[in-house]
Amino acid sequence: MTSEQFNFLRSFLKEQSGLVLGEDKRYLLDSRLNPVAREFGFENLAEMVVALKRPGSQKLATRITEAMTINESFFFRDMTPFDNFRKVMLPHMLKERANTRRLRIWSAAASTGQEGYSLAIELLEQKSKIPGWKIEIFGTDLSSEALAKASAGKYSQFEVQRGMPTTMLMKYFKQDGAEWVVEPAVKSMVSFRHFNLLKDYRSLGTFDIVFCRNVLIYFDRETKSDILNRMARQMAPDGYLVLGAAETIIGLSDEFEMVTGSRGLYQRRTQKGATTQTPARLVGANKGIAPTALYNRGLKAS
């Protein structure tokens, strides 16, 4: 593949998905796109690029984009976000949404579904605190292949062993031959949809919590800022944003501020520059109220 063809693919992927590839990422194109080239009957990537430039190559274009944007995922990946969900976000939402008993969560890079199902399992572990609540976990991704696997809710032994505690595996999955299948109680809480983060978000509705982890690192500065600001417009005034450990909003958006003591966790700013609500964990700390009391108080009948 010539430098001209490499640069064409870089520009194509940037336009289609926002993915930014440096000169040092040529190996990534080789490893991910050579199988695609063989799948479509091409001898090499150079032949595939020629075909991609022709009219009527949408199927090939889609396959290339999906191959380059599939990211690794596993259950309860990096436990910190799930600890923050259990200890900070959920107590706050139980208190502030006690009247409506509604909660919408967006897994903005759902991949093969492990993040969404992990959140559903976390909520089911707290089910005594959320009776009568309507909870929606909405997963989106650019890859149709990944979403098909997510929707099926079937995982190999290797996949469930990565992050899923044995007790939860036995409780929320059933074994089907060599695969483990998500139980209906978990599956019913999560839905998936094909979506490109470069597109208009308004059709998605409003969310209380957005998980957008390990996605922004692939975009340039301008695209990161645009995504963050558009996400903010689809979030509740006291909504939470969860980013990956290597990601930050600093210098990219004024719509959020960091939640003190909670790595990777941000909350919407008010017009005065402070969050609408103080996280429940901090309320409890300031008033000497135990977290359990905050949960119970949030579930008081309206």
Give the domains, in start order, of the chain with CATH numbers: 3-69 (no CATH), 80-285 (3.40.50.150)
**Residue 9 and residue 49 in contact, taking contact as beta carbons nearer than 8 Å:** yes
The Cα 211–Cα 184 span in angstroms is 23
Q: Is the pLDDT of residue 6 over 60?
A: yes
- What is the chain's mean pLDDT, rounded? 87
Query: What's residue 283's pLDDT?
Result: 36
Residue 26: how many other CB atoms lie within 10 Å: 15
Q: 33 and 40 in contact (C-beta within 8 Å)?
A: no
User: Which structure tokens are listed for 101?
Assistant: 């008993």
The answer on pLDDT for 12 being more than 70 is: yes
Q: Of all helices (H) and strands (E), which one includes residue 267?
A: strand 265-268
Of the listed ranges 37-46, 95-104, 265-274, the one predicted with least confidence: 265-274
Neighbours of 197 (CB within 10 A): 22
pLDDT value of residue 246:
87
CB atoms within 10 A of CB 222: 10
> Mean pLDDT throughout 48-54?
93
**pLDDT-based confidence at 287, cuts 50/70/90?**
very low
Residue 83's identity, in one-letter code, is D
Q: Considering only CA atoms, give the Rg of the chain.
A: 21
- Nearest 5 degrees, angle CA 283-CA 287-CA 288? 110
Q: What is the pLDDT of residue 188?
A: 96
d(C-alpha 297, C-alpha 295), whole Å = 5
Is the predicted pLDDT of residue 177 greater than 60, yes or no? yes
Which pLDDT belongs to residue 91? 96
The DSSP symbol for 263 reads T
Residue 24 is predicted with a pLDDT of 78
Q: How confident is the model at residue 26 (pLDDT cuts 50, 70, 90)?
A: confident
pTM: 0.79
Kindly indicate the confidence band of residue 88, based on its pLDDT and cuts at 50, 70 and 90: very high
Mean pLDDT of 45-64: 91
Q: How far apart are CA 255 and CA 235, in angstroms?
A: 10
Question: What's the confidence (pLDDT) of residue 271?
Answer: 46
Q: Say what the pLDDT of residue 29 is.
A: 86
Q: What mean pLDDT do residues 195-208 have?
A: 95
Letter string b/e over residues 279-288, b meaning 16 or more CB atoms within 10 A of that residue's CB: bbbbbbeeee
- Low-confidence winner among 87-91, 229-233, 274-278, 296-300 (lowest mean pLDDT): 296-300
pLDDT given for residue 18 in this prediction: 85
